[in-house]
Structure 1
Amino acid sequence: MSDRQLIDHETLLTLQEVMEDDFGHLIDTYLNDSEDRLTAMQKALASGDGEALRRAAHSFKGSCSNIGAQTLVAHCQHIEQAAANNQLVGLETTLVTLQGEFGQVRHQLVVYQ
């Protein structure tokens, strides 16, 4: 695991203050939904469905932005734009990178659960 911080902890602390007791539920929901979105992105890319890939990347991008995971946002934005232009070749590498970094984000979020 990398020691590199992939989430903005100030964003999370602000969310924690606002959400209070519901914050843990927010993190759990983000993690569970993220797995579903990553799976949807994999399936869409494997089937060559650029529009489904674009939608899944856009949705995941919003969730990542909400928790301050800007590196993930950048990867999602790249995938979303490429899929919108039906340029799917080479996105496998970006998706693998996205999945690996999501694993690191998951690890970093453990302290907030």
Structure 2
Amino acid sequence: MADIHLDNAVLAVLQDIMGDEYAVLLDTFLADSEERLRLLRRAELAADAQGLRLAAHSFKGSCSNMGAPLLAGLCKELEEAGQRQILGVVPGLLEQIEREFAIVRILCKTELQRYRI
């Protein structure tokens, strides 16, 4: 089930590449994701389609790089909504993104604990 939310094969490659800095990468991803969620919420409140598009695009990239395909897909949908200036779908998409990130966060923290043992 974890592979659906966080691809273990991607994490294994990242761990090989990053070596001792793997835990830093995971911590950075989590902190960066929290900030991106704040930016998305601010853009939503301001009805800023361009801000939504840009923040969703950045979040999509980091999620893709970390092997979080469902989260990346939701960010892509939000990015496209911002690009098309279809703001009516934004609240629902943001809720889905936040729920999926909550799952990814737990899996990343579990991965951190496993790695640090």
Same fold (TM over 0.5): yes
Alignment of 1:1-113 (within 5 A): 5-113=4-112
Distance 1:28 1:16 in 2: 13
Moved >4 Å (runs of 4+):
none
Number of residue pairs aligned between Structure 1 and Structure 2: 111
Q: Structure 1, unaligned stretches of length 5 or more? A: none
Task: Name the TM-score, length of structure 1 as normaliser.
Answer: 0.94
1:84-108 CA deviation, whole Å, 9 max, x = no partner? Answer: 1111112101101110110100101
Corresponding residue for residue 115 of structure 2: none
Task: Name the TM-score, length of structure 2 as normaliser.
Answer: 0.91
RMSD of aligned Cα (Å): 1.0
Secondary structure of 2:88 counterpart: coil
Distance 1:14 1:58 in 2: 23
Percent identity between the two aligned chains: 38
1:27-61 CA deviation, whole Å, 9 max, x = no partner? Answer: 00000000000010011011100001100000000
